[in-house]
Amino acid sequence: MSAIEECPFCHADERKIKENDLAFVILSNPRKMKGHFLVVPKRHVEKPWELIDREVKAIFSLVFFVQKKVSEKLSVGCDVRQNYRPFLKQGRVKVDHVHYHIMPRDFEDELYTKIEYKEAEMFAELTPEERGEMEKVLS
Ligand SMILES: [Zn+2]
């Protein structure tokens, strides 16, 4: 089967909650928390940088709409995330079709208390050498 035939987001018509001309909103299933939404381009695109400008505009129009609604009605804060992880095989919790996660967040919520509290240990001071090395990545 081709990537599009196997892709759950290319066959998600019954899951769509809201849409515009080039993108749509669904609930993540499985989800990390109640109110975990996904915004997905209608065209099967695997690399975010291959989206065309009109798709980017359509996606972020829905991302900001959902983020505002989630922040007003479900939680105090809201994370927006896109994961590009070609090193993982497509499966139940990993879909190759580009999508943006919108997740309600609150002070010391379940995601923080189970997982993210450890992230503070990872923060390190940026050195001038590292800054120079990383600037070269973008040249
Ligand atoms: Zn797809």
Render pLDDT for 93-105 as a digit per residue (tens, 0 to 9). 899 999 999 999 9
Class of residue 89 by CB neighbours under 10 A (exposed 0-12, middle 13-18, buried 19+):
exposed
Catalytic pick from 11, 36, 99, 101?
A: 99
Region class of 108: left (phi > 0), else alpha (psi between -120 and 50), else beta: left
CA of 80 to the centre of ligand 1 (A): 20
CATH numbers and ranges of domains, the chain: 3-107 (3.30.428.10)
99 is a catalytic site residue? yes
CA of 58 to the centre of ligand 1 (A): 17
CA angle 67-101-70, nearest 5°? 25
Render pLDDT for 121-136 as a digit per residue (tens, 0 to 9). 999 999 999 999 999 9
Residue 88 has pLDDT above 90, yes or no: yes
Class of residue 74 by CB neighbours under 10 A (exposed 0-12, middle 13-18, buried 19+):
middle
